[in-house]
């Protein structure tokens, strides 16, 4: 995985991937439930995402990480493209959604990921593939999902709330 992803992986403190995914999900849902309605469309600076865009970003990234993990765990060696997270946030239509709805979407996507990782064998976790011109394993993508989530919860606490 790229060096910047190690930052995310290191945020997850558990030794078990499934436990980490569940704990970061629970932490995220609890934190999002504390966001006042008046802050749903808040952005801490010009050009920064709103709270709702941040939650949409979590769900989008989770989907992408899971898709990559699924393909690589199945020994699919097709190189996958990268994605532009700012474009995804810009075109996510969050202005017509509630934070509660986006939180529910995030929870469902994370649940899907937990189920996926519960049924990937140890051997399958270490298969690898290329996304955005970088090698990843399903294991690294799972830990990235957990840590990426923690990173954005930290940002939400520090910059938004």
Model pLDDT for residues 121-130, shown as the tens digit of each residue:
999 999 999 9
- The strand ranges marked E within the chain are 129-131, 134-136
pLDDT in tens, 25-73: 999 999 999 999 999 999 999 999 999 999 999 999 999 999 999 999 9
Q: What confidence tier does 3 reach under pLDDT thresholds 50, 70, 90?
A: confident
Q: Looking at the domain that runs over 3-35+47-160, which CATH code has it been given?
A: 1.20.120.450
Parallel, antiparallel or unpaired: strands 134-136 and 129-131 = antiparallel
pLDDT at 1: 74
64-108: pLDDT as tens digits: 999 999 999 999 999 999 999 999 999 999 999 999 999 999 999
* Global pTM value: 0.94
Q: Give domain limits for the chain.
A: 3-35+47-160
């Amino acid at each position: 995985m790229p060096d910047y992803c190690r930052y995310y992986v290191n945020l997850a403190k558990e030794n078990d991937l499934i436990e980490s995914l569940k704990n970061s999900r629970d932490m995220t849902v609890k934190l999002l439930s504390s966001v006042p309605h008046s802050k749903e469309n808040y952005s801490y600076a010009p050009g920064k995402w709103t709270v709702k865009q941040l939650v949409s970003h979590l769900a989008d990234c989770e989907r992408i990480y899971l898709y990559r993990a699924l393909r690589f765990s199945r020994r699919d060696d097709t190189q996958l493209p990268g994605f532009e997270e700012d474009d995804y946030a810009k075109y996510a239509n969050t202005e017509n959604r509630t934070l509660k709805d986006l939180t529910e979407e995030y929870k469902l996507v994370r649940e899907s990921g937990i189920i996926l990782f519960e049924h990937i064998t140890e051997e399958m976790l270490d298969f690898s593939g290329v996304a955005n011109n970088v090698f990843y394993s399903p294991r690294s993508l799972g830990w990235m999902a957990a840590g990426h989530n923690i990173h954005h919860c930290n940002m939400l606490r520090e910059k938004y709330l």
